């Protein structure tokens, strides 16, 4: 079974307590505090290798990790060691991969509203590709590149008109999208690049159809559209575009109700689509993010208060919630959890796991069967490696959690827990508001 089809990481063991990477999760909670993000290195590396193996027969393939899923220096180092490039969408992500020692020619800069300062930074750091999203960006990028006396390699991001069946907030390939050029606009931007924007070197097309995708036909259709569009552009404009970036978005299994396709099935869909065409095999970029890191991560919480609603449900509160995992309140994401210190318990009840933040919508999991919990128990929520830390906030002025990496019974801090001084470190009181003795 492919790891994206499993709720739990590779190395999870159920003894008296839950163990991950050979580490007792209850001990980790005591040592580092909670909430605590935990990343299993073996699972992370295993998924990377699963992707590389699945696409091994397609010679011109480049794996580009979607950094937005989880971007820290240690995670970047691991992905770099496993042979992945990086899809970045901000100066912060570019700076992180740069400072981690990544070969910047393996980095793509993506995004629908890149700032002048971000473009300058990306050019100075010599990123390998820009994914140009709109007419404004093309003009701005050409201007900055001209001023610097360089020519930059670009892909055009297009919206292929594919509406995959996922949450509206994470669809990106439909016609009515904030991302990319509509196919009807492609000739106009190609003409501008060819005739006016001499500092832009067009290499191919880029499309991304969404996230948490379960339908392989979406990828098959995307490849079909991109191959035909590249052939049309080459024929009409006398170009030799030979690169296509199909994005990422493969789904993962958050609950037993989820049935995502495997990485091998994704690879077959992409390669089968390519085999339809008697053309020279183009270079394909693929950008998995969630399906690389999600299953490798769990989040640990400490149980606090509980409340039984008369003739209603029972709430059990933990010491985190929507600030360290906004996905349930943002788009009704579902998760599976276990009590790390009560693996063998037979006495269970249906509860709703509530967060500690001042919002009624701060609910992590609804109506889940778990061992009867009391204050001090440790709750382990699975599949939190993607879009939890990366979307975390300081709502209610609460410090962001620490993150640890576990492997071979050893744990290392890879993100330090914020302190109260960290929270106010960028605050400033104007002199006119200061109180003087």
Catalytic residues: 358
Cα gap 115→267, rounded to integer Å:
35
List, as one string, the DSSP characters of 369-431. Answer: EEE---TT-EEEEES-SSSSGGG---GGGPPPPEEEEEETTEEEEEEPPP-HHHHHTT----G
Closest CA to 388 of 36, 19, 21: 36
List, as one string, the DSSP characters of 99-126. Answer: HTT--GGGEEE--SS--HHHHHHHHHTT
138: three-class secondary structure by DSSP = helix
Q: Which two tokens stand for residue 150?
A: 């360089």
CA angle 62, 9, 321 (to 5 degrees): 100
Closest CA to 100 of 125, 120, 121, 119: 125
Q: Which two tokens stand for residue 44?
A: 């992370």
Q: Which two tokens stand for residue 63?
A: 């794996």
Cα gap 252→258, rounded to integer Å:
8
């Amino acid at each position: 079974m492919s790891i994206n089809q499993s709720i739990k990481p590779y190395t999870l063991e159920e003894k008296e307590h839950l163990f991950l990477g050979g580490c007792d999760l209850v001990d980790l909670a005591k040592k580092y505090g909670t909430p605590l993000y935990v990343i299993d290195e073996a699972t992370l590396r295993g998924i990377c290798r699963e992707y590389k193996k699945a696409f091994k027969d397609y010679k011109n393939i480049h794996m580009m990790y979607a950094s937005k899923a989880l971007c820290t220096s240690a995670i970047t180092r691991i992905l770099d060691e496993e042979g992945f490039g990086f899809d970045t969408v901000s100066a912060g992500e570019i700076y992180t991969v740069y400072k981690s020692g990544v070969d910047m020619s393996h980095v793509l800069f993506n995004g629908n509203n890149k700032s002048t300062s971000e473009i300058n930074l990306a050019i100075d750091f010599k990123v390998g590709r820009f994914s140009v999203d709109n007419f404004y960006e093309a003009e701005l990028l050409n201007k900055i590149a001209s001023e610097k006396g360089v020519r930059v390699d670009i892909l055009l991001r297009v919206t292929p008109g594919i509406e995959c069946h996922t949450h509206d907030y994470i669809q990106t390939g439909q016609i009515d999208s904030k991302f990319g050029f509509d196919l009807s606009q492609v000739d106009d931007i190609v003409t501008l690049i060819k005739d006016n924007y001499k500092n832009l070197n067009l290499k191919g097309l880029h499309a991304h159809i969404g996230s948490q995708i379960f339908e392989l036909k979406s990828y098959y259709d995307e490849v079909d559209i991109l191959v035909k569009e590249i052939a049309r552009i080459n024929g009409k404009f006398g170009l030799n575009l030979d690169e296509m970036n199909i994005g990422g978005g493969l789904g993962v299994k958050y609950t037993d109700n989820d049935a995502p396709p495997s990485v091998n099935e994704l690879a077959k869909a992409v390669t089968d689509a390519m085999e339809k065409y008697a053309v020279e095999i183009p270079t394909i970029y693929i950008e998995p993010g969630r399906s690389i890191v999600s299953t490798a991560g769990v989040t640990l919480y400490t149980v606090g208060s509980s409340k039984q609603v008369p003739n209603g449900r029972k709430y059990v509160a933990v010491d985190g919630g929507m600030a360290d995992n906004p996905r349930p309140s943002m788009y009704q994401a579902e998760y599976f959890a276990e009590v790390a210190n009560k693996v063998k318990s037979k006495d269970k009840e249906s509860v709703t796991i509530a967060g500690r933040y001042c919002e009624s919508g701060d609910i992590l999991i609804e109506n889940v069967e778990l061992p009867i919990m009391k204050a001090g128990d440790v709750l382990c929520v699975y599949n939190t490696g993607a879009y939890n830390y990366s979307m975390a906030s300081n709502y209610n002025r609460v410090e962001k959690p620490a993150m640890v990496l576990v492997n071979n019974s050893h744990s290392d801090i890879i993100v330090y827990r914020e302190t109260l001084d960290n929270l106010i470190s960028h605050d400033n009181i104007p002199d006119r508001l200061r109180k003087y003795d």
